[in-house]
Structure 1
Amino acid sequence: MKNLRIPAVLAFTALSIFSCSDEPKETPLTIGNLEISETKPSPGDSLKLTYSAIDTITEAFYVYTVKSSAYPVDLDLIKDGERFTGGLKIPDSADGLIFNFKVGEDYDANDEKGYSVNLYDTDGEILPESESSVTYYKATRGTDYGIKYNQEDAAKLLKENWSKHPDNLAILYVINSSDKAFADSIYDAKLASLSAKEQLVEEDYSNLITIYNVKKDKAALDSITPIITAKYPKGNQAQRAFYQKIYEAKNLEDKEAIAAEFEAAGGVPSSYGNYMYSDLAQAELAEGNIEKFKEAAEKISAATNKASLYNNVAWNMAEKGENLELAEELSKTSLDLVDAQKSDKPDYYTQSQFEKNLASTQAMYSDTYGLILFKQGKIKEAIAAQEDAVADRTSPDVYERYVQFLTADEQYDKVFEKASEFVKKGKATTKTKEYLATAYANTDHDGDFDSYLSGLEKIAHDNALAILKKEMLDEEAPTFNLKNLNGEEIALADLKGKTVVLDFWATWCGPCKVSFPGMQKAVSKYADNENVEFLFIDTWESTSGEARQKGVSDFIKQNNYTFNVLMDTPKEEGSREYDVVSAYEVEGIPTKFVVGPDGKIKFKAVGFDGNTDGLVEELDMMIGLASGQ
């Protein structure tokens, strides 16, 4: 074969053409596991993305910021070996981008720094709002996705960039948390500017309300509320004022009068107005006024609010076994309302998040519907509803009701299959295990049931233990000194050498209170173990001072709990921000921490799934692992 020889000039030209066509316009930007096709992207640009991950990506979306607002959008990524590729077109209105990737069960937050990108103009200069917009998002929403942004650092950057957004009071609120003097000077200047205006518009009143709320100036708030209510009855602030009045009203007649005043002023419900009519509807129902309840409920404009009201009312009726025909009607309507929302996505969800949230809501409402049907003796219809409930739920009590309905219908083979599955998953209540025993006795099985059940429980225990070992932390626990209900000062540092369980809670928190029977079981179990301490930290209460102390103390006494309750301290008088809950970066309650003998956080658990026995077993495993057992 002859060798093909290409003239030198021709070879060079061909090589040059090949290289130019494949060379990117600029060097790609690399942030952790993410590579972006442009280092200085601009609004309107199309970007190519490459994300490296060993495990499966279970969620991927980006957020584009517009000043202090944020809009999430799903990312459609394609797997290519150990990489995932995709792209997006930056919206023209955007000034910043944040990328969020969930790998397996956890968000990859790039060592807690996040994946954030500033945007630039056509001259390669950073957009004026970009740094502040991205920082504001990371400081206020970042913890949801594993990002830890020091609030003082955030406030410092926002303060340095304040001249680029001098009217953004949302951003000023973040600055206020670290530099109150600077924020106050801006608030005072804004107040002076508004006072100098001959006539105020609705936005001006909204700014006044924001400022007076931050400054806790109740007298000033009370003085402008009647004005904004009269001038802008359809506005959010006016509706908020009417809702506050209805909420505080002592009797039904006063609530009805306030609603009539709202309507006479030309108010049409939205936002707070929907809460107002929900409150009125529940007050009517409490007095047995069914038709007036329906009238008030029909005035709620948002399908989400109306569906929630109907489901809550229907569930309460089902639990009591009262008004089951009405409960069925309301429950069915709540499901129809959820179905009607499928084309009405809010801006704060991606499409996939919205669909997942709807599916979860539909499952929860189906659980209500199933219970109502079951209590009316409509067993097969109840089973069909409960199958919708368990399709998206992991709550043990929902699973329990499912096998209860199947047992009532004598579907023992299916009870055996499903209940066994729930036990292995660690999602079985004591009642679920009893239904499994019934099914075992009514189906063809050899051997002893207790041995069979023990085998399933061992699988569940071993799986849970393996997961906990992977989730184990080793972070320094913030120290604190708090007083308990007896006035004794408790210092976390004094408990070093012991395993300490911290439970953040509040008297208004439903899931906290539902979890307490399980927590009492755990406290009683370890009562004689001098190496384990339980501390229940009361926080985020709406009352303060003696009223808060009395409310918490009365709640504990009335329920005969033997908890050592510590009172978290507010950052300032009347504030809803508290010291210890903030130090532990708690986003919702109940939240539990298990601190090992070395003074380091070993576990963090948020929420309660309704399984009392499961809670005690999980705490057993956490305490054992934290203690090095």
Structure 2
Amino acid sequence: MKFSFVLISALCAILGTQAQGQRLKMTPERPYIGDTVNLLYHPDSALLATGKPIKGAVYIYDTLYHWHAVDLQMKATDSGYTFTVPLTSDNGLWAFKFRAGAAVDNAHDTGYILMGSVPGRQWKAAYAGYGTLRASRYDLGIPQYYTDFQVSDSAMFFWMGQEIGYWRAGRVFIWPYVKARAMMEGQAGLNPDSSEIIHKAANYMIKAPNLTSKDLYTLALIFDKYIHNKGVADSLYKVSGPITQKKADYKAIQAAKTPEERLALSEKFVKDYTPDPEMDALAGIDYTRGVYMNIFAVSIAKKDTSVLARHINTAPFSMLTFAYYKMVEIPYGDWKTMPAKEAYPFSQRIMDKVAYLKANKPAEFYYYTPSEFVEYLDDAFKYDYITHASILKETGCEKEALPMVLKLQDEWNYTNATLNQLEASLLEKAGDKKKLDEVLHNSVRMNQASTQIIDLLKKEYLNTHKDTEGFDAYLNSMKDAHTMELLREHVQAGIMNREAVPFEMKDLNGKTVSLAAQKGKIVILDFWATWCAPCKAAMPGMQMAQEHFKKDTNVVFYFVDTQERDPAYKEKVAKFIKDKKYPFQVLFDNGDEYYSKYAKLIQTSGIPFKVVIDGKGNIRFAQTGYMGSPSGLADEIEMMISLAK
């Protein structure tokens, strides 16, 4: 009876996916271990709509209970995409997934799953693979295979029990088996420590011969956490090997009271212990957050840049993105305090490591196929690649920067103003006018144009026109209608009508400016600070908006400097505005007096913070943050002002 239920479940898992639009068909329909299966895939409409290449992946669970992720070699035909999969005896389960760009087809979160079998029974690893794949919270399957689907703890207990019962896999799966049972009993209002099944599993395991350190530590956890027999648990901890001391040293890091102590203990920890993913997971040891984050965060805060060279070959991947952000993006890209020549060694070292990882996928990323892993890396570094290309350009490496930028544009498709500007400057220097024109026009089309790009287009416009009288209309004619309509809808959705806070602030010359004196005018307040990178990044777009209304005396822009920390901030502000040649009227907040009042009124926080006040003294729009496009910001502000009128 047990075999019948499992076999029917397995067949439903396959046949159910075929019934969903007949997207995945296989021959033979009921394959066995030893067969080679021919599969035909009809892409989901969502995948076809992307216009991107259709790609496939298969996640294989082998009979040693390890996952392998493989890119499918699919052939496009008039009928769909064909490929073959040999059902070898060293594997027990195959799960398929298809994607195109960001769209994914996993049978609407039910899965394309093939459980290995022989006549009359399921093959080794089929039960366990089916359970672990569908209960991702146990961290034993493919974490990104499903989006929201999860089976219950009782289902997980059943599938683990099947594998243990039929294939004597108790040593491998006793922990998830006991954990699932404990969860079941807890949900039923029972006390897991009196569970006959949990006691039986633990006692059976403890009598097994040749127990490994992992076996002993797992048993210690079961007696400690679920059976609550501290005496047996402690005795097992003592004989379970170095993991007990490793856990104690890890706890000492978390208990450290000073950054210096955390750094010293973390450095010693990575020197004394080699990562062991399975044992570390059982012991709750997180090398990324609990160890390496201390090393990198504290070292970088102490301006010890040698941390990158010391640990780049052993640190988890996420530390590379963290290090790039802290050591390159902030000082070079945001604060502009690090010149490109100084940023280059750090940026290039990390980029070299990323290139190495693309060709040598770490074992910790077992759940990605090689191509998926490359896509994952590229997505994690999508903004950093632009920064690195900028560093290459500034250090005279245009020949390396231009191919990199052209490749990035294939992915970004002119939706990033910084990349567009970088490509335009490289093409201009290379003398590629045809490609430059393409970049200029597409940047405006996607409303991701910088002031430099607008200036280049203005220069081009003047080649065929006597003046710039019709230039704004020319620019607007290039913009994508759908993009602009979405922007209008976004702006209109934010309209409000709240009485503005009266203010009196002094400008750079010590002259007092008040809201009361601006009656009948549209007033735009832009709250910013010299330490705020997004504030300064948004200023070219605000300059474009101000330029648009330069002949309109009923529209006034005030750039309110707020929340400054430097005692000499007024001199710092004056120098910044002068160096950048911004035609802005700057007002000084009293600490953050008016910023706080406006932020409280709008119920928001953070800068840059822009407020549009109508001629009657009412707030009509308020916006926090900056999305990165000067031309997009200018259009947004212009729409707000027009509606406020």
Settle same-fold status: TM greater than 0.5: yes
TM norm structure 2: 0.55
* 1:61 shift after superposition: 1.8
Aligned residue number for residue 98 of structure 1: 95
Do the aligned residues in 1 keep the contact of 2:142 with 2:367 (CA within 8 Å)? no
Instruction: Output the CA distance in 1 between the equivalents of 2:316 and 2:400.
Output: 25
* Corresponding residue for residue 132 of structure 2: 136
1:285 aligns with 2:300: yes
Asked if the contact 2:61–2:67 (Cα under 8 Å) also holds between the matched residues in 1, the reply is: yes
Matched residue SS, 2:117: coil
Gap change, CA 1:35 and 1:415, over 3 Å in 2: same
From 56, 59, 63, give the equivalent of 1:60: 56
Query: Does structure 1 retain, via aligned residues, the 8 Å contact 2:23–2:41?
Result: yes
Q: In the TM superposition, what is the alpha-carbon distance from 1:97 to its structure 2 partner?
A: 1.9
1:512-551 superposed matches below 5 A: none
Whole-Å separation in 2 of the counterparts to 1:616 and 1:93: 61
> Is contact 2:206-2:219 (8 Å) kept?
no
Q: 1:204 aligns with which of 189, 194, 215?
A: 215
Aligned to 1:45: 35
Identity value in percent:
16
Amino acid at match of 1:450: D
Partner of 1:354: 373
- The match for 1:159 among 157, 162, 170 is 157
Alpha-carbon offset, residue 343 of structure 1: 3.3
Q: Is the 8 A contact 1:109 1:146 kept in 2?
A: yes
How many residue pairs end up in the alignment? Answer: 447
Please state whether the residue corresponding to 2:386 is helix, strand or coil. helix
User: Which residue in the other structure is 2:116 paired with?
Assistant: 119
Query: Residues 65 and 95 of structure 1 are in contact (CA less than 8 Å); yes or no, is this contact kept in structure 2?
Result: yes
Q: Mark the CA change 1:388 to 1:382 in structure 2 (over 3 Å): closer, same or farther.
A: same
- Structure scoring higher RCO (CA < 8 A, sep ≥ 6) equals 2
> 2:304, 2:421 → 1: CA distance?
31
Residue type of the partner of 1:136? T
The question of whether the paired residues in 2 share the 8 Å contact of 1:96 and 1:118 is answered with yes
Match of residue 418, structure 1, among 439, 442, 448: 439
In structure 2, relative to structure 1, the CA distance for the partners of 1:157 and 1:257 (3 Å cut) is closer
Match of 1:341 in 2: 357
Q: Is the 8 A contact 1:419 1:435 kept in 2?
A: no
Q: Relative to structure 1, is the Cα distance of residues 248 and 132 closer, same or farther in structure 2, using a 3 angstrom cutoff?
A: same
**1:32-79: CA deviation from partner (whole Å, max 9, x where unpaired):** 321111333333431111223476462212222248753222222222
Q: Is the 8 Å Cα contact of residues 297 and 306 (structure 1) preserved in structure 2?
A: no
Q: Structure 2 residue aligned with 1:367, among 386, 407, 410?
A: 386
2:346 paired with 1:330: yes
Match of 1:402 in 2: 422
Instruction: Tell me which of 263, 267, 271 is aligned to 2:273.
Output: 267
Corresponding residue for 1:457?
479
Contact 2:321 2:380 in 1 (8 A): no
Helix, strand or coil: the match of 1:95?
strand
Question: 2:55, 2:99 within 8 Å by CA — same for their partners in 1?
Answer: yes
CA contact (8 A) 2:135 2:156 kept: no
Q: 1:94 to 1:458 in 2, by over 3 A?
A: same
Change (3 A) 1:108 1:337: closer
CA distance in 2, matches of 1:421, 1:212: 65
1:249-297 per-position Cα deviation (integer Å, ceiling 9, x unaligned): 3434313441464367x42467655763453243223223344x35642
> Which residue of structure 1 lines up, in the alignment, with residue 324 of structure 2?
311
Residue aligned with 2:348, SS: helix
Q: Determine helix, strand or coil for the equivalent of 2:122.
A: coil
Between the aligned partners of 1:463 and 1:193, the Cα distance in structure 2 is 68
Q: Distance in 2 between matches of 1:52 and 1:434?
A: 46
Asked if the contact 2:354–2:377 (Cα under 8 Å) also holds between the matched residues in 1, the reply is yes
2:75 is aligned with what amino acid? I
Aligned residues: CA RMSD: 5.2
- Report what 1:507 is aligned to: none
State the 1:214 CA deviation: 7.6
Q: 1:281 to 1:85 in 2, by over 3 A?
A: closer
Greater shift after overlay, 308-317 or 200-209?
200-209
CA distance in 1, matches of 2:598, 2:250: 32
**Deviations along 1:72-120, whole A, 9 cap, x unmatched?**
2222222221322221112433222222123675333435432222221
Is 1:448 aligned to 2:454, yes or no?
Answer: no
Q: 2: distance between equivalents of 1:118 and 1:107?
A: 22
Summarize the Cα distance change of 1:384–1:47 in structure 2 as closer, same or farther, 3 Å threshold.
closer
Indicate how the Cα distance of structure 1 residues 138 and 197 shifts in structure 2: closer, same or farther if over 3 A, else same.
Answer: closer
For residues 385-437 of structure 1, give each alpha carbon's deviation from its aligned partner in whole angstroms, at most 9, with x where no partner exists: 5445444446625535525755995979555422432443x4x44xx253332
- Structure 1: stretches of 5+ with no match in the other structure: 1-27, 469-512, 518-555, 566-607, 619-629
1:63-74 matched pairs, under 5 angstroms: 63-66=59-62, 69-74=66-71
Matches for 1:3-82 after TM superposition, within 5 Å: 30-31=18-19, 32-53=22-43, 56=48, 58-66=54-62, 69-82=66-79
In 1: Cα distance, 2:32 partner to 2:598 partner: 59
Structure 2 CA distance for partners of 1:371 and 1:441, relative to 1, 3 Å: same
Q: How do residues 457-606 of structure 1 correspond to structure 2 at under 5 angstroms?
A: 457-461=479-483, 560=599
C-alpha contact 2:41 2:81 (8 A) present in aligned 1: yes
1:206-221 equivalence runs, <5 A: 206-207=217-218
Uncovered stretches (5+) of structure 2, i.e. residues with no partner: 1-13, 165-169, 278-285, 491-533, 539-594, 605-625, 637-645
For residue 253 of structure 1, what is the aligned residue in structure 2? 260
- CA–CA separation in structure 2 for the residues paired with 1:381 and 1:451: 37
